[in-house]
Structure 1
Amino acid sequence: MKLPASLFLALLVALPAFAAGPATLAGIEQGIVAVHGWGSTPADPALARPHIIVGITLHHQGETYKAGTDPAQYLRTLQRWSRDTKKWIDIPYHYVVDLEGKTFAARDLRYAGDTNTTYDPKGQALIEVVGNFEDVEPNQQQLDAVVDMMALLVARHGLSIDSIRGHKDHTQTLCPGKNLYRYLESGYFRHKVALRLAGIGRI
C-alpha cells in the first residue's frame, strides 16, 4: 500500500539524525572550502559570542551575484565590509553557497552570527546562498548544497528537522527571498534533508 505523501513526509521527519553514515557526513565536510582556502584573515575572539547550535537559519545575499564572480573575492570583500563598516567579528554567516553549489566556511561556527535585522541569531547556524532570490531562482546545485549542509548540521548537532527556518521566520524581512523561501514553506528542504539522512541515494 502506498503511503499518503503527508504521512510519508511525517515519517521521514521523525527519522533520527544518526541515520546518515559517517562516510556520507565526512564527504560533505570534506567538500566544504575551508577559510584558508579563500584567504580569510583571523577574527578577534574578544568580539565573539560563543553559542550552542539549536537551529538552522537560511539567508540569501540579497544582491545580484553575476555569473563568473570569484567567490573567494566576494568573501574577502564581505569580510572587510563586515569588520570595517559593521564592526562585526567576521562575515555574519557560518557558511556561504555560491552559484555552482560550492559551500565555503565563513564565520567560525562556535560563534554566534550577526544580522542587520532585529532577531538575535545566537544559537543558529547561518547559511547564506548568493544571489537575490526576490528576483532570481536558485539553481539545482545551490538547492542540493543547502540540503547537504542542513543534513550535516542536523546530524552533527543533534537537531530536529523542524529547527530548519528562514530569516523571515524570525523577524520582518524579505530574506531569504520569495523564490528560495518557498522551498522552506513547501517542506522541500525538510523532506530532502530527511531523505539525505535516511541514506536514500543522492538527492
Structure 2
Amino acid sequence: MRLPALSCLAAAFLAFSTAAGAAEPLSVVEQSIVPVTAWGGTPADASKARRHTISQITLHHQGEPFKPGTDAQAYLRRLQSWSRVTKGWLDIPYHYVIDLDGRTYGARDIAFAGDTNTDYDPAGHALIEVVGNFEEVEPNQQQLDAVVNLMAMLAAKYKVSIDDIRSHRDHSDKTVCPGANLYRYVKEDYFRHKVALRLAGEQAGKHR
C-alpha cells in the first residue's frame, strides 16, 4: 500500500490535531517509559551483551493470556527471571513491553540485541512486546495507541524507515507472532500510516 506524501500527512495530522487536541511530543513519549528499576528489574550484564545499531522496529505479542487486573510489574519480574534462568538469555528478549492500559515499560537495554526462539537474527531490531495472546483476543485501543507512539519515537530517534516497521512473523515463518488479531494492523499498514502521521505532525510542530 502506497503511503501519502509527507506534506499530505502533515496536513492531515494538523487537521486531526485541531479537532482532537495535539498529540504529546515524542520526547514526552520517551520520558513516560517506565524504567527497569521502577518495576523491580535489574540491569543486564553489559560485558555479555551483543551490541547493535537499531535499523528496524519489530512487533511481538506475549503469546499467553493476560487477564485484566494482572500485575504487569510482577509479570516483568517473572519474565526477566525466566529469560535469564530458564532460557539462559542476557535479559528479557524484548526492549519494550506494553501492558493492557497502554503503559510502556523498558525491558532489555535498547543498546543490546534481543533474543528469539525462532530463526531470524534480531540484531538491529528494536523489539516491542504487547501483552496478551492475539490469536485469541483483540488488542485494545490503549495498546494500539501505545504501539504507534512508541514506534514513532523509535523511528524518529534511530532514523528507522517506515518500510522497516514489521512484525516477528514477517522475519520468520516459524511463528504466528504477533497473533492474527494484532498482525492485521501490521499487514494493513495501520501502524505505518499512524507512525507516518505522528512523525509528520512532530515535524510540522517544530516549524510552527
Same fold, judged at TM 0.5 (above) = yes
Q: CA deviation at 1:14?
A: 9.9
**What secondary structure, in the 3-state scheme, does the structure 2 residue paired with 1:50 have?**
coil
Q: CA deviation at 1:15?
A: 7.5
1:39 equivalent in structure 2: 40
Partner deviation per Cα, 1:24-75 (whole Å, 9 max, x = no partner): 1211011110111101112112221000000000000000001101111000
CA distance in 1, matches of 2:43, 2:197: 36
CA distance in 2, matches of 1:55, 1:13: 24
For the pair 1:186 / 2:207, whether they are aligned, the reply is no
CA distance in 1, matches of 2:185, 2:6: 17
1:61 equivalent in structure 2: 62
CA distance in 2, matches of 1:41, 1:34: 10
Asked whether the equivalents of residues 91 and 106 of structure 1 are also in contact (C-alpha less than 8 Å), the reply is yes
Write out the 4+ residue segments of structure 1 that deviate beyond 6 Å after TM superposition.
Answer: 13-16
2:197 equivalent in structure 1: 195
Asked whether the equivalents of residues 95 and 108 of structure 2 are also in contact (C-alpha less than 8 Å), the reply is yes
CA distance in 2, matches of 1:43, 1:30: 21
Which residue identity lines up with residue 30 of structure 1 in the other structure? Q
1:118 equivalent in structure 2: 119
Number of equivalenced pairs: 190
Q: TM-score, normalised by structure 1?
A: 0.89
Partner deviation per Cα, 1:130-163 (whole Å, 9 max, x = no partner): 0000000000000000000000000000111110
Matches for 1:1-203 after TM superposition, within 5 Å: 9-12=3-6, 24-172=25-173, 173-199=175-201
Asked whether the equivalents of residues 36 and 43 of structure 2 are also in contact (C-alpha less than 8 Å), the reply is no
**Which piece of structure 1 moves more, 58-67 or 23-32?**
23-32
Q: CA deviation at 1:12?
A: 3.9
CA distance in 2, matches of 1:150, 1:179: 18
CA distance in 2, matches of 1:13, 1:50: 36
| Residue segments in structure 1 that go unaligned for 5+ positions in a row | 1-5, 17-22
Q: CA deviation at 1:11?
A: 1.3
**What secondary structure, in the 3-state scheme, does the structure 2 residue paired with 1:10 have?**
coil
Which residue identity lines up with residue 127 of structure 2 in the other structure? L
Which residue identity lines up with residue 11 of structure 1 in the other structure? A
**What secondary structure, in the 3-state scheme, does the structure 1 residue paired with 2:197 have?**
helix
Which residue identity lines up with residue 75 of structure 1 in the other structure? L
**What secondary structure, in the 3-state scheme, does the structure 2 residue paired with 1:127 have?**
strand
| Residue segments in structure 2 that go unaligned for 5+ positions in a row | 11-23
**What secondary structure, in the 3-state scheme, does the structure 1 residue paired with 2:143 have?**
helix
**What secondary structure, in the 3-state scheme, does the structure 1 residue paired with 2:60 have?**
strand
Asked whether the equivalents of residues 13 and 161 of structure 1 are also in contact (C-alpha less than 8 Å), the reply is no
CA distance in 2, matches of 1:186, 1:74: 30
Asked whether the equivalents of residues 58 and 126 of structure 1 are also in contact (C-alpha less than 8 Å), the reply is yes
Which residue identity lines up with residue 135 of structure 2 in the other structure? E
CA distance in 2, matches of 1:121, 1:10: 29
